[in-house]
Amino acid sequence: DFDHVLEALLNTSMDIDSLEPDTVLEERWVKEVLTRSGMKFRSAKLYETRERPNRDTHRRPPADPANLRPRPPVVTIMGHVDHGKTTLLDSLRKSQIVSTEHGGITQHIGAFLVKLPTGEKITFLDTPGHAAFSSMRARGANATDIVILVVAADDGVMNQTVESIQHAKNAKVPIIVAVNKCDKPQADPQRVKQELLAYDVVCEEFGGDVQAIHVSALKGDNLMALAEATVALAEVMEVKAEPSGLVEGLIIESRTDKGKGPLSTVIIQRGTLKRGCVLVAGKSWAKVRFLFDENGQTLKEAGPSVAVEVVGWKDLPSAGELLLEVESEQRAREVVDWRTYEEEQEKLREEQSAIEQKQKLHLDEYKKEREKLSSLGWRKRKAAIYQANKLKYAMRDSEKMQSSEPQLPLVIKGDVDGSVEAILNILDSYDAEEQCQLHVLHFGIGDVSENDVNMADTFRGSIYGFNVKASKSIVQLAEQRGVPLKLHNIIYKMVDELKEELSSKLPPDV
């Protein structure tokens, strides 16, 4: 019965030849065995994953409320094209240049800090469009506390205005409306606020809680009122963070600077970043050499909500990636290694399902072969045993594959039973005395077939044929798949070549 046969095949100590040949040809266990053998071979590394302790690093649990301190809100400006986002950002930035003693050139680093005369601060993200906002949202990260929605008073609510509202609502980020271009004679701020009602943005004068400030980004009118409204909202929201402990943050931009090398702008969300800190983000890590603000000034440290340029990355991290501080360089390497390893495992899993696809193909071939065999009448029994032996070999092989010794998977084809057997005997004796493992994936009589190539390809093996042929299309297929295909008419030459290939797989010191 099925279980008995399966048991016999999985337990290679049992002799398959003792089984009734007709049961041997049951399709369901062939399928089972093929799947199991393939799975076993490919899964060796996957099992390893489960046993290895998780070497990744993650955000810390939420801070004790007693350790939270107010921090500046982080603001993203959104709105329809041409409604004045860039102009607003420029005016806000300019308002700062005048007041800094350096008075120099501000660089675009993806964010900048605005200081109010009252001492409060706001961090503005100025990555063009919603790009930063969207890519971070896509990664489940959110750096923004408040969205300032710019709506031109002469144009009203447009489709990107609606999109921006949607983005903010999905991210559960509150909105402040900047009714812009109020300096224009045709400006109609009232209409803007009325139109917003349709999108559930209810301004204060309609009984809602959304602040709307009438501004002119171009002339700089009322920008202070906009900033004050932002600070007031942040206070209501109780925007806070823990300034101590391991740093957590987000990458908002990355670039390579000619002088400074790989750079990223990060926004700190927790802890205080200092020179010498070791950081990981995605599969990159850094030992912080320098911190720069948007004025190109070096900073000693950067606390929550501050955006800083970080110098010291080994590779460039991507925007939107989570930034985490770790205790040591050793730990950073470990985390990066782990993440790289995990990614490889993911690839392996994909490869494995590709192999399973291929195995289905083998089964179809097998069915065809079986139909042919049953028409042969008296030879049926012998053929069945032969097939079962092939499977047994494949099984043994997949087990051997799990060992770390160098391996040479083989498909052997011969003209008659006797020659195949002779080759197998020679190989068996060689196998025993060498440290390289031979794996006969498949052996059989007749010309090299597509199935042979499939099999060798799946297990990255070679095909050796003795006194057999391979059609042009098979030779081509083998070439395409990179499967070595060797045909011989003199047995000792073939065995010599085999031994040579085998020796080439041995480590040089053996």
Q: Which residues bind ligand GDP (CB under 6 A)?
A: 79, 81-87, 180-181, 183-184, 216-218
92 or 263, CB closer to ligand GDP?
92
Question: What's the closest the beta carbon of residue 218 comes to ligand GDP, in angstroms?
Answer: 3
Q: Which is nearer to ligand GDP, 87 or 295 (CB)?
A: 87
Lookup: tokens for 36: 């199991």
Least CB distance to ligand GDP at residue 95 (A) = 14
Type of residue found at 180:
N
List b or e across 39-61, with b for residues whose CB sees 16 or more CB atoms inside 10 angstroms. bbbbeeeeeeeeeeeeeebeeee
Give the nearer residue to ligand GDP in terms of CB position, either 79 or 320.
Answer: 79
* Element (DSSP H or E) covering residue 500: helix 491-504
Q: Is 408 left (phi over 0), alpha (psi -120 to 50) or beta?
A: beta
**Of 90 and 301, which CB lies nearer to ligand GDP in the complex structure?**
90
Q: Which residue of this chain has its Cβ atom nearest to ligand GDP in the complex?
A: 84
> Scanning the structure block, which residue is given the tokens 């039973």?
417
Nearer to ligand GDP, 113 or 153 (CB): 153
Residue appearing with tokens 């690839």: 347
Residue 506 CA neighbour count, 13 Å, CB half: 16
**Cβ(222)–Cβ(215) below 8 Å:** yes
| Distant-in-sequence, close-in-space partners of 281: CB < 8 Å, separation ≥ 6 | 251, 264, 266, 317, 318, 321, 322, 323, 324
In terms of CB distance, is 94 or 289 closer to ligand GDP? 94
- CA 356, 360, 365, 369 torsion-angle sign: positive
- Nearer to ligand GDP by C-beta: 80 or 488? 80
181 versus 442: smaller Cβ distance to ligand GDP: 181
E strand map for 85-157: 111-115, 121-125, 146-152
Shortest distance (Å) from residue 141 CB to ligand GDP:
24
- Distance (Å, rounded) from C-alpha 199 to C-alpha 326? 44
Pairing mode, strands 462-466 and 407-414: parallel
Q: Which residue has the tokens 């009984």?
A: 207
d(CA 385, CA 415): 19
Min dist CB 154 to ligand GDP, Å, is 8
The residues facing 74 across adjacent strands are 123
Q: How far apart are CA 216 and CA 78, in angstroms?
A: 16
Q: Indicate the residue among 155 and 325 with the shorter CB distance to ligand GDP.
A: 155
Shortest spacing between CB 175 and ligand GDP, in angstroms? 16
Query: Please, what is the minimum distance in Å from the beta carbon of residue 110 to ligand GDP?
Result: 16
User: Between 73 and 84, whose beta carbon lies closer to ligand GDP?
Assistant: 84
The 3-state secondary structure of 230-290, one letter per residue: HHHHHHHHCCEECCCCCCEEEEEEEEEECCCEEEEEEEEEECCEECCCEEEECCEEEEEEE
C-alpha 177: how far from chain center:
37
* CB of residue 69 to ligand GDP, shortest distance in Å: 34
Which CB sits closer to ligand GDP, 128 or 446? 128
* Residue number, 117 or 185, with CB nearest to ligand GDP: 185
**Least distance to ligand GDP, CB of residue 108, Å:** 14
Q: Which long-range contacts (CB under 8 A, 24 or more apart) does 224-229 make?
A: 224/116, 226/148, 226/176, 226/178, 227/92, 227/114, 227/116, 227/122, 228/116, 229/176
H/E run at residue 389 = helix 380-400
Q: State in angstroms the smallest separation of the CB of 112 from ligand GDP.
A: 16
Q: State in angstroms the smallest separation of the CB of 221 from ligand GDP.
A: 8
- Residue closer to ligand GDP by CB (options 19, 218) is 218
CB of 253 to ligand GDP, least distance (A): 18
Question: To the nearest whole angstrom, how small is the minimum distance from the Cβ of residue 72 to ligand GDP?
Answer: 23
CB of 294 to ligand GDP, least distance (A): 19
